Amino acid sequence: MRKSNVIIHPGESSILLHLHLIRRPISSSSIAPLPVDPDPPDLSSQLLSVLSHPSWQKHPSLRNLVPSISPSHVSSLFSNNPNLDPQIALKFFQFIARKPGFKHSVQSYSLLLNILISNKFFGVSEKIRTSMIKSCISIDDIRFTLDFLREMNRDNNEHKFKLTLRTYNELLMMLSRFLMIDEMKRVYAEMLSDMIAPNIYTLNTMVNAYCKMGNVVEASLYVSKILQAGLRPDTFTYTSLILGHCRNKDVNSACNVFKMMPKKGCRRNEVSYTILIHGLGEARRVDEAISLFKKMKEDYCYPTIRTYTVIINALFENDRKLEAVNLFNEMRNNGCEPNVHTYTVMIDYMSKERKFDESRRMLNEMMEKGLVPSVATYNALIDGYCKEGMMESAQEILDLMHSNNCSPNERTYNELICGFCKRKNVHKAMSLLSKMLEHRLMPNLVTYNSLIHGQCTVGHLDIAYRLLELMKENGLNPDQWTYSVFIDYLCKNKRIEEAHVLFNSLKDKGIKANEVIYSTLIDGYCKAGRTDDADSLLERMLIEGCLPNSSTYNALIDGFCKERKVEKALSLLEKMVQEGVKATVSTYTILIVAMLKGGNIDHAHMLFAQMVSSGNQPDVYVYTAFIHSYCGTGNLKEAEDMVSMMIESGVMPDALTYTLLVDAYGRLGLLYQAFDVLKCMFDTGCDPSHHTYSFLIKHLSKEKLIEENKSAVLDLVPNISFIDVADVWKTMEFETALLLFEKMLEHGCSPNVNTYGKLIIGLCKVGRMAVAQRLFDHMNEQGICPSEDIYNSLLKSCCELGMYDDAVRLADATMERGHLPLLESLGSLICRLYDEGNKKKAKQVFCNLLHCGYNDDEVAWKILIDGLLKSGLADECSELLGIMEARGCQIHSQTYKMLIEGLDGT
């Protein structure tokens, strides 16, 4: 059996790193706890040799060495040479710190302090000790520093260097920055044990730390200590208390402290105002925040960048967008330049409003000013793009982050993964899971839930269950959302009984079914025509104390409407309103569609008016339902009027709305007007769908057929019964596509990658590879680069048709273009190549895909387990697994176990 010790488990690298950084126990013989990594050959000795010269700073060798010197090299130099002259050690330490981008590690500081203190250089050591504390950039750094300084502070240490009041205060301040409250209490106790009396700075630091946590009660104890020590609380003390009350969601108490400050003879400053303004904003008391903002001048305080930013953010959060934008402009007019945080707030707003050109302009503006965008700035744009399905733009921002040396965080990857999954580009989302692990970012519940949802959406239930197991293996517990996704998938695939079994098992899994899970199963029953079972489940839901929401009622209303029990659906609408559940746009849309299908257009309009009067803003789906009905009955005037009404209401038609109009004009022989609608789609940035082009081709074919047979009597031309739209791709010829392109150009619509894509994908689905290939060649001739979807459609079709030589060429071309070929297609291709004895080509295809950035577990699942092992190619599977192992692929232990069991035939 193959050994698994070459497998790197997800997350293991970060654990090993953590173990590597754990310090050795401190001994009296050494106060440098961390082991030092070995230097590159001779670098430490070369440095020592240079430093032995009196004029070492001018030594010709030093210039060559400096670019290679890192903090670990400085540590090695001091660790290996503890008897180094203290003055030389100090001067070298200061010299190398001036190297651009160089930052000493806390280990370097500790080793320098060893040398200085052992030589009684106490004065400069105090400054170095303070710098060491200030250099801490992580919890590990501060813990190391604490242990080191405690060791020096011991009375029985031969190199004793007692902590001073200043040192204690610096330590407390750094611990406060990392919210290490327990450690602060311990340091404070040690300070008292050392007979060092706290000053106002010490006690204020303690007050502030507790206030950051919202623990005003504990903070107040230290305020009492200030008074007991005969000191007076100052502006910092009271401002901290304001912060504490705000963090505790007790804004009234924060206001009381703010009002009390002048009575205590304590001046309120810009920070006091800003913190309270922020607290009022978070409590949605924006008018009070604005009023306070305007009163700042009375205290001779002037708004800072932070003040403006928090109030601008509060205005956006409370949907007062115009005021926020005006305040942003006022801020700049007053000479207060926005900082990174301000720009991030504005970019976030612009992205949420889908004003992407403006948000990109702001990003460029801030960078031109020399401001470095934070990860939150980039995330604001990525989130906006992902929510709109603009994944290419989101990927561009990710690339920009990398080029600007800004490391993505968990949120960055989660937003991208969610976005790709929504676009059903799940293999791309899975590849980002690998990127997360490479960057030592641990996937969380959101990551796995998004991937599981994505795999279920594209019908890969087996992969979704494997992700569930990986999730558990990584110590994450599936939640209600996780199981609601599985139940939803089973219901949508008419596996209601399986869904019900999973639902009943939740209690044993420690999961309490919520309204989402109940609503999902109720919707499944309704769509299966089992409204009685859905009703029973609603009763069970109420008995178990889970209150139905609008989605629950909408599922039942939709079920009754589909069974033509419209009266029952309407009575349920009344019931939900009586129960205090607000009817949503979706509720009314379901009922309106039912009325329109039944020909009761007056009742539909009445419901539309009721929806508007109840405060629900009609969306594109409601308007499109009416347009669909009018187009279906040939009432184009009413359909056009409804389009005008929706646009006047600020609702833009979507691809379905436009497509219905295209078909309606086409059916009336108004092909010119149909192409005018297509022009509107292009002008408004709405991508025509697969169905849009289907209808245009259908009506073009119909017109061409009539033109060719205009001399014949229609009844004598049986083919003129016209192609059903579902059969368009089975009959479309290359010349028809050229005719479509010609008509598009006449109307100012240049065929683009989306146009070719929809046509090629449609043809591939019905196995029309010859026509699809001609279109593929034609688009290349026109200088249009095929998309990943086009390559994958052609590749999949080639594999299904047994055109393996063409499939290999397409797979190579796809990867050469930087696209990800679908693993299902590659799995099928590799298996067929092995079957045909083309072992060399199979291995080459597999090796190429390993360079694409795929998630290694997914490769193992789809190529090795679901492909080779299921095809009985165990030896070949073992060989490819060996290739993955040799390349250090990160296969999870659970996946590896599945592979071993498959190879052993167990």
- What's the pLDDT at 9? 37
Query: Residue 890: which of 465, 509, 433, 447 has the closest Cα?
Result: 433
**Sequence-ordered strand ranges (E) for 228-345:** none
Measure the CA dihedral 606/609/613/614, to 10°: 60
826 lies in some domain: yes
Query: Residue 81: which of 50, 123, 127 has the closest Cα?
Result: 50
Question: Is the Cβ–Cβ distance between 283 and 251 less than 8 Å?
Answer: yes
What are the structure tokens assigned to 641, written together? 């009027």
What is this structure's pTM? 0.78
Report the C-alpha gap between 664 and 671 in whole angstroms: 10
Report the C-alpha gap between 59 and 2 in whole angstroms: 56
What are the structure tokens assigned to 36, written together? 């030092």
- What's the pLDDT at 58? 84
Query: Is the confidence at residue 656, as pLDDT, over 80?
Result: yes
Taking CA atoms, 683 is separated from 107, 432, 750, in Å, by 62, 34, 11
Query: Is the confidence at residue 4, as pLDDT, over 50?
Result: no
- What's the pLDDT at 247? 94
Report the C-alpha gap between 822 and 508 in whole angstroms: 37
The per-residue pLDDT for range 843-853, each reduced to its tens digit, is 999 999 998 88
For 84, which DSSP code?
S
Residue 878: what are its φ and ψ, rounded to 5°? -60, -40
Mean pLDDT in residue range 378-387: 95
What are the structure tokens assigned to 546, written together? 């889970």
- Which of 350-354, 488-492, 713-717, 794-798 is least confident? 713-717
Instruction: Give SS3 for 786.
Output: coil
The per-residue pLDDT for range 804-814, each reduced to its tens digit, is 999 999 999 99
The share of the chain scoring above pLDDT 90, in percent, equals 76
- What's the pLDDT at 62? 85
Direct distance between the N- and C-terminal alpha carbons of the chain, in angstroms, rounded to an integer: 12
538 lies in some domain: no
- What's the pLDDT at 154? 87
- What's the pLDDT at 18? 30
Report the C-alpha gap between 608 and 625 in whole angstroms: 11
What are the structure tokens assigned to 12, written together? 């293991």
**Residues in contact with 433: Cβ distance below 8 Å, sequence separation at least 6, in sequence order:** 413, 417, 443, 447, 451, 855
Mean pLDDT in residue range 527-543: 92
**Residues in contact with 622: Cβ distance below 8 Å, sequence separation at least 6, in sequence order:** 585, 588, 589, 592, 608, 611
**Residues in contact with 514: Cβ distance below 8 Å, sequence separation at least 6, in sequence order:** 480, 484, 546
User: Taking phi first (over 0 means left), then psi (-120 to 50 degrees means alpha), and beta for anything else, what does residue 872 get?
Assistant: left
Mean pLDDT in residue range 600-623: 92
Question: Is the Cβ–Cβ distance between 739 and 675 less than 8 Å?
Answer: no
Question: Is the Cβ–Cβ distance between 118 and 159 less than 8 Å?
Answer: yes
884 lies in some domain: yes
For 30, which DSSP code?
B
- What's the pLDDT at 37? 42
- What's the pLDDT at 28? 30
Count CB neighbours of 53 within 10 A.
12
Q: Is pLDDT larger for residue 422 or for residue 3? A: 422
Taking CA atoms, 75 is separated from 44, 59, 71, 578, in Å, by 10, 21, 6, 73
With bands split at pLDDT 50, 70 and 90, how would you rate the model's confidence at 710? Answer: low
Report the C-alpha gap between 297 and 842 in whole angstroms: 76
Query: Residue 71: which of 63, 62, 79 has the closest Cα?
Result: 79
The share of the chain scoring above pLDDT 70, in percent, equals 93
- Tallying the residues shown for the chain, one arrives at 906
Count CB neighbours of 96 within 10 A.
21
Residue 442: what are its φ and ψ, rounded to 5°? -85, 125
For 860, which DSSP code?
I
Query: Is the confidence at residue 20, as pLDDT, over 80?
Result: no
Query: Is the confidence at residue 15, as pLDDT, over 50?
Result: no
Arithmetic mean of pLDDT over the chain: 89
Mean pLDDT in residue range 312-329: 92
Displacement of CA 136 from its chain's centroid (Å):
29
Domain total in the chain: 1
Query: Is the confidence at residue 725, as pLDDT, over 80?
Result: no
868 lies in some domain: yes
660 lies in some domain: no
Report the C-alpha gap between 425 and 871 in whole angstroms: 26
Residue 685: what are its φ and ψ, rounded to 5°? 75, 20
Query: Is the confidence at residue 327, as pLDDT, over 80?
Result: yes
- What's the pLDDT at 39? 42
Mean pLDDT in residue range 587-608: 93
- What's the pLDDT at 38? 43
Query: Is the confidence at residue 106, as pLDDT, over 90?
Result: yes
| Alpha helices, DSSP H, located in 649-768 | 655-667, 671-683, 690-708, 728-731, 734-746, 753-765
Query: Residue 145: which of 163, 157, 158 has the closest Cα?
Result: 163
Report the C-alpha gap between 110 and 150 in whole angstroms: 12
What are the structure tokens assigned to 867, written together? 């492909």
Measure the CA dihedral 386/392/397/403, to 10°: 150
Residue 801: what are its φ and ψ, rounded to 5°? -90, 0
Count CA atoms closer than 13 A to 902's CA, side-chain side.
25
Q: Annotate 393-443 with DSSP letters as a single string.
A: HHHHHHHHHHHTT----HHHHHHHHHHHHHTT-HHHHHHHHHHHHHTTPPP
Question: Is the Cβ–Cβ distance between 344 and 377 less than 8 Å?
Answer: yes
**Residues in contact with 833: Cβ distance below 8 Å, sequence separation at least 6, in sequence order:** 804, 808, 839, 841, 842, 845
Greatest distance between any 2 Cα atoms in the chain: 114
Sign of the CA dihedral with 176 first, then 179, 183, and 186 last: positive
Mean pLDDT in residue range 217-238: 95
881 lies in some domain: yes
**Residue recorded with tokens 């509107």:** 680
- Host domain of residue 871: 813-905
The per-residue pLDDT for range 139-192, each reduced to its tens digit, is 999 999 999 999 999 888 777 889 999 999 999 999 999 999 999 999 999 999
Q: At what angle do helices 445-457 and 426-438 cross, to 10 degrees?
A: 160
Question: Is the Cβ–Cβ distance between 521 and 502 less than 8 Å?
Answer: no
With bands split at pLDDT 50, 70 and 90, how would you rate the model's confidence at 723? Answer: low
**Residues in contact with 814: Cβ distance below 8 Å, sequence separation at least 6, in sequence order:** 788, 791, 792, 795, 820, 821
Report the C-alpha gap between 354 and 381 in whole angstroms: 10
125 lies in some domain: no
Query: Residue 642: which of 665, 667, 664, 625 has the closest Cα?
Result: 625
Taking only Cα atoms into account, the Rg of the chain, rounded to an integer number of angstroms, comes to 35
For 712, which DSSP code?
S
Report the C-alpha gap between 112 and 76 in whole angstroms: 11
With bands split at pLDDT 50, 70 and 90, how would you rate the model's confidence at 890? Answer: confident
222 lies in some domain: no
**Residue recorded with tokens 């692929």:** 889
- Point out which residues pair with 27 in neighbouring strands: 30
Q: Is pLDDT larger for residue 554 or for residue 65? A: 554
Q: Element (H or E) spanning 453, and its range? A: helix 445-457
The per-residue pLDDT for range 109-140, each reduced to its tens digit, is 999 999 999 999 999 999 999 999 999 999 99
The per-residue pLDDT for range 46-89, each reduced to its tens digit, is 888 888 888 888 888 888 888 888 898 899 889 988 899 999 99
Report the C-alpha gap between 270 and 307 in whole angstroms: 8
The per-residue pLDDT for range 452-470, each reduced to its tens digit, is 999 999 999 999 999 999 9
- What's the pLDDT at 101? 85
What are the structure tokens assigned to 155, written together? 């009375």
**Residues in contact with 375: Cβ distance below 8 Å, sequence separation at least 6, in sequence order:** 401, 406, 407, 408, 409, 411, 412
